[in-house]
Structure 1
Amino acid sequence: MAFNTGLSGLRAAAVDLDVTGNNIANASTVGFKSSRVQFGDLYANGFLSGGSNPVGDGVNVQGIKQSFGQGNISFTDNGLDMAIEGDGFFVLNNGGETRYSRAGQFTIDKDGFVVNNQSMRVQGFTADGDGNLSGIRGDLEIATDNLAPRRTTNLRSDLNLDSRESVLESRVRDVGPLAFGDVNGEQFEMTYTDGTPAYSVDLSGLTTARQIADKLTTAPGLSASATTTANLGLSDADVAAAGFSFELRVNGAPLQLDTSNVSSLEELKAAINDSSDTAISAAIVDDGTGNNVLRVSHNQGENLDITYNDGSGGASNTVSETGDINVTGDRTIAGVTATGGSGNNFVTEYGQSPIRITNEFNPQDQRTYNHATSTSIFDSLGNSHELTQFFVKEPSPGNGVGVSEWSVYLQIDGEMVAGTDATPYTARFDQDGTLQSINGDASGEIVITDWVPKDKNGQPNGSDGPPAAGATVVTPIPDPPTTSAFVLSLGETTQYGATFGVDDQRQNGYTTGRLSGLDVSSEGILFARYTNGQSKSLGQVALASFSNTDGLSAVGDTSWVETFESGQPVIGKPDTGTLGGIKASSVEESNVDLSGELVNLIIAQRNYQANAKTIETSDAVTQTIINLR
């Protein structure tokens, strides 16, 4: 009996050594779960009794049990590596056979499927083309084709327009042209509404229109210019006549002209334009009756005296001009009154002159708008275009109490859209700075229906254009869009006494993109990142749990298969129910306690030696009996 008892001990110790050695060998295997041997003693017994021999028959290996405790998690440089924090197994497709593993070292094969080192495909919940996850389980696949572009159908701008801004509109009075003789010698006084002291102007003793213009320009709020123009009734025949002569004097001083070889009005015009005085110019114009005349001008308003002989043998003709004055006055001027002399001409003309807006909106002139902001939008081909919004503060309607108005202009790639080249949109705000409406629409939406996407040369680029004339455009733009129409939403725009700022500006379009990277969330969702800044869900890793994890059967490659004892798997999404979460760019290390295993190795060795000693002793006893004589 002692031989059998010792032999069973040797067998058990050998198994213990094997299991311990296997644990030590896999101390660095990702996802490996350590095992331990379970022993049981042996006793002989009868069918109806416990037997009469209380001495044991040795030891039996009852089973080898794996420990599914959590291993340490370490980070890696592979974005597809995953570790499970908590309960659960990855579900793997091994050519039709379903396996379960805790080893999350994954990569992508040539067909785009997520696989482990043994080319088993990782199972998960698939996503549709728009990145919406489904409940359908299948092999996770990474699409490597380009992300199709999406046209802009909605742009939301949350802005604050500074209520402290002043109205930029400038109103001026244009006075003139005033003839030199009508204003020469006048005296008048100007008064102002902005506190500027009254100013007197004396036009006495002046001899040219230029002097009068310079005198008027010295007055605050006035700007004046002078021009002297003389029309000469000459024909080509007059100039070509043998006795033709021509003399031009500026303020009495002769101007050097070479007219010796001129034979037509064109040649005479050229001779005047070639003179040394750049303020003198000549042109052939229609006098309004269908006849061409030679117009000689001095653009600074000096006196002109022109004497010419048309060759007919008669007396010379002399034309004298003293010039005209044009005056512009801004709206700060309260009034003009005569204080001496006649003064009636300028005073009368100023009072009757129309008011003209001088700084009408011009996107090229920053002085004609208060605020502007730009953002990129995209056409159906994914081409980027720049949309600029301009905001111009307008005079408050009515008495200006409790309401403010701003004009909104829109421009895409330098071209005005939404009809704002002719009529801007009107944004109205209440006394609290809240947007009331845009053109009476309380939603604050502007629908752009006239945009034609163009290339850099200003030609249509082949993408979808505006809707057909008369077509109804509803908001929001339904999917799939078929035109370039889009909605600009300004519903969250405010008008507070704070600096202009863009709080939020987002649009739903983007250009085409190439796959640039992958991210995995704690829920096991695979996100594809593209070069256009977009991301899309490609699928979600599936995890499985079992009622009896110890019932799983290890089949190598750090994987297990379902058995009758394990029960059927419960498959779900990570971080739901009892399933653990996913740690991206990480792996779960082996849960082998190497120091403990080395101690177990010593114990197993001692057990083996002790059982061998049992056999050795039994052999010595037996030999003693045999040697009895």
Structure 2
Amino acid sequence: MAFNTGLSGLRAASVDLDVTGNNIANASTVGFKSSRVQFGDLYASGFLSAGTNPIGDGVRVQDVQQSFGQGNISFTDNGLDLAISGDGFFILSNNGEIRYSRAGQFGIDKDGYVVNNQSMRVQGYTADDDGNLSGIRGDLQIETSNLAPRRTTSLVSELNLDSREEVLEQRVRDIGPVSVADLQGETFSFQYSDGTGDYSVTIDPAASAREAAAAIDDAPGVSASATTTATLSGLTDADLQAAQTAGNLVFELSIDGAVLPLDLSGVNTLEDLADAINNSSETAISASVVDNAGTPELRIIHSRGEDLYYNYSANGSTGTATVQGDVNVTADREVASVASAVATDNDFELAFDASPIRITNEFNPIDQRTYNHATSTTIYDSLGNSHELTQFFVKDPSPGDGVGQSQWSIYLQIDGELVAGTDLQPYTALFDQDGELLSVNGDPNGEIIVTDWIPKDANGDPNGADGPPADPTSVVSPIPEPPTSSAFVINFADTTQYGASFGVNDQQQNGYTTGRLSGLDVSDDGIIFARYTNGQSKALGQVALAAFNNTDGLAPVGDTTWVETFESGQPIIGAPDTGTLGSIKASSVEESNVDLSAELVNLIIAQRNYQANAKTIETSDAVTQTIINLR
């Protein structure tokens, strides 16, 4: 009996030594979980044979139980080294056999699969070409080929336009010329869009064009000038030469009743007569010879609009006339209309209504004085070529009475060429009294769809990328995938107009050029991101973790891996940092959870137990020898 008891103790102590030695041997093994021996005593007892003081039959090893406690996490310089902080196991495929491990020393094999040191493939959730996780488990693979370019189909522009900016664009009406004869004795009033009072103007019945222009020029927002033009038809070079030879040349020119002294001694042609007038003491008068259907004529202009009187006689050709001037008026944007106090068909009122609007400082992308704000961003065509898109913003006068709304014009330029039709007409952005965007060209979503862009190279020639759609009216927002043209959408929905400096809060566009794989990053939830040389990143997949209801039921099979058993139950698989599963720490490994100090103490205890059980056998042998030696 004592022999068997001591022998069982030796066996148990030997197993304890083996387990302790194995723990010590794997103190530096990544992902290793220490084990401990669990003993149970033995009794030789049956259904009816148990006594009140049964004698034990020794000891047996009931189980070698592993401790799945968390090991320390240490950092490494390998981006694919992964450690689990919390519960869970990596899922590995060993040629189809599924194993589970806490050792996260991973790399990439020749085919791009994520594997451990034993070439077991890591399992996870795969991603599609756009980086969207599919939820389908499989072998995680790193795509090492170049990232194909993506054309820009969407640009979100979040800006603040400074409401304190002045209106730069000056719009005026050019009215005239209106004959002073149509203004003499008239009374009319200028009416203004800003609500200020009307300004009444009365023209004297005997006023010259200069006097009429001076009266009109006093009105706010209005500038007026006058000119008088007299054309002498019928007088020829031959008439002048004959009259000069005969000594009976007569030419008299009066300005507002005052005769202009002229030296006619050398006048033989119309050009000579024009020179004589130009050489006179009157600086506001000028003369020239003009062609009228092949016939030269003398034209005399007084730049201040005084009445001109001329009288000439030369070789039988005579002419006498008093010529009144014309009035030209320029009215700025505040002048809304002109109303006659005498008749509704006043010539000046009709001329105002028919006058076109002229922009004095029309938008010019190379002239910073013609726009308030500008910002640029890079967009990409279907070949991955970059292009510079510039957005220009010009503050307009407030619509209506200017209360509660503000308006801006938007121009778009790509590589120096205006697009989206803004070379003909800009887009109009309307803001409310709170500075929030109401619409862009009436669209409450604040979108501009660019459908006329032709991507070009540095020489200004089409570069072979997709161009505008055949039917621009068929383009919708958002642009459907896959895109088939260069059309893209600019969204200004979050653009504001506050009393603060112009600022670009955000500019996000979805295009990029081609790129090569430059690195990998792994997030806490196990998503593997690929970084490319074009600044893009894309999800390649997500590491999957498995947990078990009875972790102690897993069976170790070497290489720091375990397999599922009936006692462990089926795995509960999910994404890291969900449910009870732990999170992933990249560029880290989980060290062995062996407590080396404790193991060395256990080693001493196991050695002592072994020696003590050996002593039991030695003592039993001595007793047996004593019995044998009895005589």
TM-score normalized with structure 2 length? 0.71
What is the aligned partner in structure 1 of residue 144 from structure 2?
A: 144
Q: Is the 8 A contact 2:174 2:328 kept in 1?
A: no
Q: Is the 8 A contact 1:450 1:485 kept in 2?
A: yes
Aligned positions, number = 481
- Cα separation, 2, equivalents of 1:487 and 1:95: 49
- Cα separation, 2, equivalents of 1:125 and 1:395: 57
CA distance change for structure 1 residues 17 and 375 in 2, over 3 Å: closer, same or farther? same
Q: Is the 8 A contact 2:73 2:591 kept in 1?
A: yes
Deviation at 1:441, TM superposition (A): 2.5
Deviation at 1:110, TM superposition (A): 0.8
The equivalences for 1:302-451 within 5 A come to 322=279, 344-345=305-306, 352=328, 354=330, 357-451=359-453
Deviation at 1:345, TM superposition (A): 4.6
What is the aligned partner in structure 2 of residue 134 from structure 1?
A: 134
CA distance change for structure 1 residues 609 and 376 in 2, over 3 Å: closer, same or farther? same
Q: Residue 627 of structure 1 aligns to which amino acid in structure 2?
A: N
- Cα separation, 1, equivalents of 2:620 and 2:400: 121
Question: Any idea what SS the aligned residue of 1:16 has?
Answer: helix
The equivalences for 1:7-26 within 5 A come to 7-26=7-26
- Cα separation, 1, equivalents of 2:376 and 2:147: 25
Name which of structure 1's ranges 365-374 and 506-515 shifts more when overlaid on structure 2.
506-515
- Cα separation, 1, equivalents of 2:414 and 2:81: 46
Deviation at 1:567, TM superposition (A): 2.1
User: Residue by residue, what CA displacement relative to the aligned partner does 1:407-431 show, whole Å, maximum 9, x if unpaired?
Assistant: 2111100001111112112222233
Q: Residue 560 of structure 2 aligns to which amino acid in structure 1?
A: T
Deviation at 1:155, TM superposition (A): 1.2
Deviation at 1:322, TM superposition (A): 5.0
Q: Is the 8 A contact 1:173 1:350 kept in 2?
A: no
- Cα separation, 1, equivalents of 2:326 and 2:507: 49
What is the aligned partner in structure 1 of residue 180 from structure 2?
A: none
Deviation at 1:19, TM superposition (A): 0.7
Deviation at 1:151, TM superposition (A): 1.2
What is the aligned partner in structure 1 of residue 94 from structure 2?
A: 94
What is the aligned partner in structure 1 of residue 79 from structure 2?
A: 79
Question: Any idea what SS the aligned residue of 1:74 has?
Answer: strand
Deviation at 1:433, TM superposition (A): 2.3
What is the aligned partner in structure 1 of residue 611 from structure 2?
A: 609
The equivalences for 1:35-50 within 5 A come to 35-46=35-46, 48-50=48-50
> Identical aligned pairs, as a percentage?
78
Q: Residue 427 of structure 1 aligns to which amino acid in structure 2?
A: A
Deviation at 1:584, TM superposition (A): 1.7
User: Residue by residue, what CA displacement relative to the aligned partner does 1:561-581 show, whole Å, maximum 9, x if unpaired?
Assistant: 122222222222222222222
Question: Any idea what SS the aligned residue of 1:352 has?
Answer: strand
User: Residue by residue, what CA displacement relative to the aligned partner does 1:372-405 show, whole Å, maximum 9, x if unpaired?
Assistant: 1111111111111111111112233343333322
- Cα separation, 2, equivalents of 1:470 and 1:476: 14
Structure 2 residue 79 is the aligned partner of structure 1 residue 103: no
What is the aligned partner in structure 1 of residue 159 from structure 2?
A: 159
Question: Any idea what SS the aligned residue of 1:620 has?
Answer: helix
Deviation at 1:343, TM superposition (A): 6.2
Q: Is the 8 A contact 1:44 1:51 kept in 2?
A: no
Q: Residue 160 of structure 2 aligns to which amino acid in structure 1?
A: N
- Cα separation, 1, equivalents of 2:9 and 2:400: 107
Question: Any idea what SS the aligned residue of 2:3 has?
Answer: helix
Name which of structure 1's ranges 4-13 and 470-479 shifts more when overlaid on structure 2.
470-479
The equivalences for 1:174-189 within 5 A come to none
Deviation at 1:24, TM superposition (A): 0.6
Name which of structure 1's ranges 87-96 and 165-174 shifts more when overlaid on structure 2.
165-174
Q: Is the 8 A contact 1:99 1:560 kept in 2?
A: yes
Question: Any idea what SS the aligned residue of 2:7 has?
Answer: helix
Q: Is the 8 A contact 1:372 1:388 kept in 2?
A: yes
User: Residue by residue, what CA displacement relative to the aligned partner does 1:198-225 show, whole Å, maximum 9, x if unpaired?
Assistant: xxxxxxxxxxxxxxxxxxxxxxx99xxx
Q: Residue 576 of structure 1 aligns to which amino acid in structure 2?
A: T
CA distance change for structure 1 residues 433 and 551 in 2, over 3 Å: closer, same or farther? closer
- Cα separation, 2, equivalents of 1:463 and 1:445: 24
- Cα separation, 2, equivalents of 1:394 and 1:566: 74
CA distance change for structure 1 residues 167 and 605 in 2, over 3 Å: closer, same or farther? same
Q: Is the 8 A contact 1:383 1:511 kept in 2?
A: yes
What is the aligned partner in structure 2 of residue 507 from structure 1?
A: 509
Q: Residue 352 of structure 1 aligns to which amino acid in structure 2?
A: N
The equivalences for 1:290-309 within 5 A come to none
The equivalences for 1:198-347 within 5 A come to 322=279, 344-345=305-306
What is the aligned partner in structure 1 of residue 118 from structure 2?
A: 118
- Cα separation, 1, equivalents of 2:386 and 2:604: 72
User: Residue by residue, what CA displacement relative to the aligned partner does 1:78-114 show, whole Å, maximum 9, x if unpaired?
Assistant: 1111111222111111111111111111111111001
Question: Which runs of 5 or more residues in structure 1 are unaligned?
Answer: 176-220, 223-306, 308-315, 327-340
Structure 2 residue 25 is the aligned partner of structure 1 residue 31: no
Name which of structure 1's ranges 436-445 and 502-511 shifts more when overlaid on structure 2.
436-445
CA distance change for structure 1 residues 401 and 322 in 2, over 3 Å: closer, same or farther? farther
Q: Residue 118 of structure 1 aligns to which amino acid in structure 2?
A: Q
Q: Is the 8 A contact 1:13 1:607 kept in 2?
A: yes
Q: Residue 505 of structure 1 aligns to which amino acid in structure 2?
A: Q
What is the aligned partner in structure 2 of residue 487 from structure 1?
A: 489
- Cα separation, 2, equivalents of 1:457 and 1:49: 107
Q: Is the 8 A contact 1:45 1:52 kept in 2?
A: no
What is the aligned partner in structure 2 of residue 587 from structure 1?
A: 589
What is the aligned partner in structure 1 of residue 54 from structure 2?
A: 54
TM-score normalized with structure 1 length? 0.71
What is the aligned partner in structure 1 of residue 525 from structure 2?
A: 523
Question: Any idea what SS the aligned residue of 2:56 has?
Answer: coil
Deviation at 1:470, TM superposition (A): 5.8
User: Residue by residue, what CA displacement relative to the aligned partner does 1:433-482 show, whole Å, maximum 9, x if unpaired?
Assistant: 23222222222211111110001111101111011156422222111111
Q: Is the 8 A contact 2:449 2:489 kept in 1?
A: yes
Deviation at 1:353, TM superposition (A): 5.5
Q: Is the 8 A contact 1:370 1:392 kept in 2?
A: yes
Q: Is the 8 A contact 1:44 1:53 kept in 2?
A: no
Q: Residue 439 of structure 2 aligns to which amino acid in structure 1?
A: S
Question: Which runs of 5 or more residues in structure 2 are unaligned?
Answer: 176-222, 225-265, 267-271, 286-301, 308-323, 332-357
Q: Is the 8 A contact 2:451 2:472 kept in 1?
A: no
CA-atom RMSD in angstroms: 3.2
Deviation at 1:317, TM superposition (A): 12
Q: Is the 8 A contact 2:94 2:120 kept in 1?
A: yes
- Cα separation, 1, equivalents of 2:57 and 2:609: 16
Question: Any idea what SS the aligned residue of 2:616 has?
Answer: helix
CA distance change for structure 1 residues 370 and 625 in 2, over 3 Å: closer, same or farther? same
CA distance change for structure 1 residues 18 and 164 in 2, over 3 Å: closer, same or farther? same
Deviation at 1:354, TM superposition (A): 4.9
Candidates 605, 620, 623, aligned match of 1:618: 620
User: Residue by residue, what CA displacement relative to the aligned partner does 1:590-617 show, whole Å, maximum 9, x if unpaired?
Assistant: 1111111111011111111111112222
What is the aligned partner in structure 2 of residue 239 from structure 1?
A: none
CA distance change for structure 1 residues 400 and 587 in 2, over 3 Å: closer, same or farther? same
User: Residue by residue, what CA displacement relative to the aligned partner does 1:317-357 show, whole Å, maximum 9, x if unpaired?
Assistant: 9967659989xxxxxxxxxxxxxx996559x9895255764
User: Residue by residue, what CA displacement relative to the aligned partner does 1:125-170 show, whole Å, maximum 9, x if unpaired?
Assistant: 1112222212321111111111221111111112221121112235
- Cα separation, 1, equivalents of 2:471 and 2:284: 51
CA distance change for structure 1 residues 569 and 418 in 2, over 3 Å: closer, same or farther? same
- Cα separation, 1, equivalents of 2:279 and 2:119: 100
- Cα separation, 1, equivalents of 2:284 and 2:380: 53
Q: Residue 435 of structure 1 aligns to which amino acid in structure 2?
A: L
Q: Residue 116 of structure 2 aligns to which amino acid in structure 1?
A: N
Question: Any idea what SS the aligned residue of 1:447 has?
Answer: strand
